[in-house]
Chains A and B, each alone.
Chain A
Amino acid sequence: MRIILLKLVIIVLFLSSINSLYADEKESFNIGYYDLEKDIRYDEWGVHPVDIRSNTNQLYKRPIAGARLGLKDIKPFQRMAKVKFKLMSLRIKNIDTAANDILNHINSNNIKIILLDLPVTKLSNVVNKISNLNIAVINVSSKNNELRSSNCNQNLFHTIPSERMLSDSLAQYLSDKKWRKVLMLTGPLEIDKAKSESFIESAKQFGLKIIDNRNFLLGNDPRARDQNDLDFLTGSAKYDAVYISDTHKEFSYRVPFATHIPSAVIGSSGLTPRAWHWSYLRHGAPQVHGRFERMHQRRMTEEDWAAWIAMRAIAEALVRFKDNENFSFHDSFVSENFKLDGSKGPVLNFRKWNRQLRQPIMLSTDNWVTSIAPLESFVHRENNLDTIGIDSKTSKCSK
């Protein structure tokens, strides 16, 4: 009898091991995704009437597309993680109740970790509201520097690079090229000013000289020519490069090849720093682009990449660390042994001090990645990727 029982146990064990490989009856692992119905960053617009009507200018640019590709890409991890991944999204209609809506959605759907695509003001609000749940939050779109330096939250991780990482990348490039004299043009929005401030910090760090910082305005008013006319804006100065911060991009698109003296244009147009660009050809990036375009019929943006890599980070942490005692995403993400493949070259992992994903930045034109930061000539005692972004000394997050 005992032997029969033993055999039965062995058979059951055997069957269950097969199950874990092939069957779909695994514990569901729910990932929350939240964004806003009205988000100025995804406003529909086009500079040119043809652009608006054209199919190639896809207006639906929400990064949830990246999360959906991520979900598809991490499905093969289910065999190893022994869970079934599920992406549960909610688009928030009323900004004022966003934090509560998200809290309720998390609680009623047994959500284990969340991705947020919110502007910085709403994001802080939500993160603070759900702080008690102690659930890891991955920010996939806000580049705000304060979230990585002074206004931190121990649950908040960032896969999108900070403004500072982007501006440091540009500064490294200019420094490497010895194009040290920079004229700055700053847009009217708060977010434009924040970008410019970040660039000023980067310029200081990498030894660039800012010869002037001028404000521009989109318009044709002849009384404001000093702010809307490029010859005035870029005249009476000597510089090697013109930096422009313009979130809307409508003004900055006209700057390259239109400066008063011959000059490189960088920032919001010309050479732009991005977490990801579709034209990158190495390190397995074309495969990711290909999968994304087949799924969504549009180019993959840097926010798409940030959402995609967030999903991969979740799967990677589960596969490698789930069996550890006291498993938490918080600890796994910042572990020395956490190694993420973002199809950008080096291994990626999160900075311990502000939970920002370390990553190379692509310095790209509209159709080519011209250079990758960190540039080779910039080295760091521990990790060269830390030559860009807010370092452990400047960040007050862990203090």
Chain B
Amino acid sequence: METIQFDVLTISGAMLLIATFGIVVTRGFMDWLNAYRYQSIVLSAITAIIGYVTGIWEIYIAAGLTLVIKSIIIPKVLTYVTRKLEIEFKLETNPYVSIRASVIISALLVALSYFLIQQIPFKSDQIVNAYLPVSMAQFFIGLFVLVNRRTVLSQVVGLLIIENGLFLFAMALTHGVSLLIEIGIFVDILVGILISSILLFRISQTFDSLDVGKLENLRDD
């Protein structure tokens, strides 16, 4: 029984990493959104697993919220907003680092997070062992996507990955901070995504592009 449970933990963690890599290797915004949706569904399943293992009922609510907000509402909102944009805005030209190199860097980031987690004295616990490195890796890969890509859309996607990483981090380490705070965090994300959608729309209107390089009017010289 113990080993089966352990396998479930490992496999679900791996599925989450695959979803994250899915965002790293694809080029179009719709592909990112699909990868993100898949990632959120896996995340919600993982949350439910954590809820099952620890037996805390509040975690099931968090899992449900994750499923509804992150795999349904947020992709819907972003699809709705970007449907109005020109098609060329949704495809990025070239990331700063080529996709092949990005995959290697992301793999290194995964290794780095496993290494870092070993340095920190955590209580040994199978959930922590299985998910904490994965969540750290997601955090780092999110940061990497955020700085590597040229379009404004990918910055939103990077933020979303970071946020998923954070959520799993808090879940795995502390089995969820209290439900009230989690709802607060969900509201923050939702409002943040709404605001960034409005901004996306305005950027595409006023700058006639979604290239981050165009956002360089404000300088000190």
- Co-assembled chains A and B: no
> Which A residues lie at the B interface, using CB under 8 A?
none
